[in-house]
A = this chain, B = another copy of it.
């Protein structure tokens, strides 16, 4: 399955669903245009409440990861640049700086941080299902 949820985790279940779907889509496991399982279907298969899954789907729609067609179902949306691209780049850069703080306490040097980042990028690339971008 392309989604796993840990009910004992401190991160909310609906957030785990959001992250899991985002990751699966980014890896090509759920190609654009493909059909998502229905709210109740995913809820019963994961032993969750349909409201919890619905909340995750709503957040995924706000993030333009999926598209909802009333009465028909939800589908994986195509990734396309948005108007707030520059702001999101800035947010990502801030997140990177937060990682620098964490790295400081391991501790890692600047070179080691960069090297680790390259390894992470390489592994991330390898975990892709060999699917086109």
Contacts and interface: CB of A to CB of B under 8 A. Distances in A.
Contact of A81 (B65, B80, B106, B110): B106
Q: How many copies does the complex hold?
A: 2
Interface string A99-133: 11111111110100110111111011100000000
Interface residues of A, number: 41
A103 to B, nearest CB: 6
A97 B96 CA distance: 11
Contacts of A85: 106
A100 B96 CA distance: 11
Nearest to A85: B106
B101 A99 contact: no
B102 A79 contact: no
